[in-house]
Amino acid sequence: MLGSDAHIADAETGRPIAAQISAVWVEPSKVSAEAFQLSFAAELPPLSLIVYHVIKAPAGSTARARYTIHRHGNPPTVHSEHFQMSQLDGTEANTPLSLSNKHLQMWNSPETGLLQKLRLQSGLVRQVQVQFLWYGTRTSGDKSGAYLFLPGVEGSQAYSSSEPPLVRVTKGPIFSDITSCFPHFTHTVRLYHLDGHAGKSLEISNTVDIRSETNRELVMRIMSDVTSGNRFYTDLNGFQMQQRRTLEKLPLQANFYPMTSSSFLQDSTSRLSLLSAQSQAVASLRSG
């Protein structure tokens, strides 16, 4: 299949659409030799239908993503005859990973690949860090389950693994991203090279597999320099935003609230918004 490329065209006008061919990863360091991912940006007016044609094209005629593969202290070896692969050498291996478009620039940890800070279009640099945590459950009585969150008295514990994650940096004309492959989850933070809201925000995705764990839950924490105090906001079934307050007198689970589709925290000068593709629970246990 990768012996040729594909073009995208508007079926009505025949206008070619910019596209990007990316690798399909069957393992953290193994590229599929049988399939690839074709990405393009589709712009549709409200209540409309547009048909696009995928057309076979000569090899090399569609832009392909370029990859940098990195693992701190133990560089992996990745081969692909269809995509450009490189590694970080020397001082580059200890320099923060960085991606940017015309709206945003992000810096990620060279050890974990996790987000550390952002530069906005205004030039302002904001601290926005991503961490992962474990929550255990009670040792007696009711335990956490599909409909209950009953964490243990020890609270949260920082996620750690026996070896650093494999980190993949993808660069292309439609999107660029940084993917961290941990034993229990794969975390991706992506920048789109587009105008509008898609290009002015980060897309974060997590693929989680904790089937090997018992009575443990994985949590993603976003830490920012927004001075939000003990207040934050969540949506009520997508209809309106409701102010929430974190109260120390309540048990931990009582400070978590449903987030059907969105949440934000703010101070007098800035706001950090989170839009979710799936319903989740959310809390702001400390300012920011």
Question: Rounded to 5 degrees, what are φ and ψ at 250?
Answer: -90, 150
Residue 154: its pLDDT value, please?
Answer: 81
Please report, in angstroms and rounded to a whole number, the separation of the first and last CA atoms in the chain: 47
One digit per residue, pLDDT tens: the chain, 288 residues? 455 788 999 999 999 999 999 999 999 999 998 889 999 999 888 999 999 999 998 888 899 999 999 998 888 888 888 899 999 887 888 899 999 999 999 999 999 999 999 999 999 999 999 999 999 988 877 888 777 888 888 889 999 998 899 999 999 999 999 999 999 999 999 999 999 889 999 999 999 999 999 889 999 999 999 999 999 999 998 889 999 999 999 999 999 999 999 999 999 999 999 999 999 999 999 999
Structure tokens at 142: 């009711």
Residue 1: its pLDDT value, please?
Answer: 44
Question: Rounded to 5 degrees, what are φ and ψ at 218?
Answer: -100, 135
**Domains along the chain with CATH numbers:** 5-225 (2.70.98.30), 226-288 (no CATH)
Q: What DSSP state is assigned to residue 66?
A: E
Query: How far is it, in rounded angstroms, from Cα 218 to Cα 12?
Result: 47
Cα three-residue angle 38-40-125, rounded to 5 degrees: 110
Residue 99 bridge partners (DSSP): 106
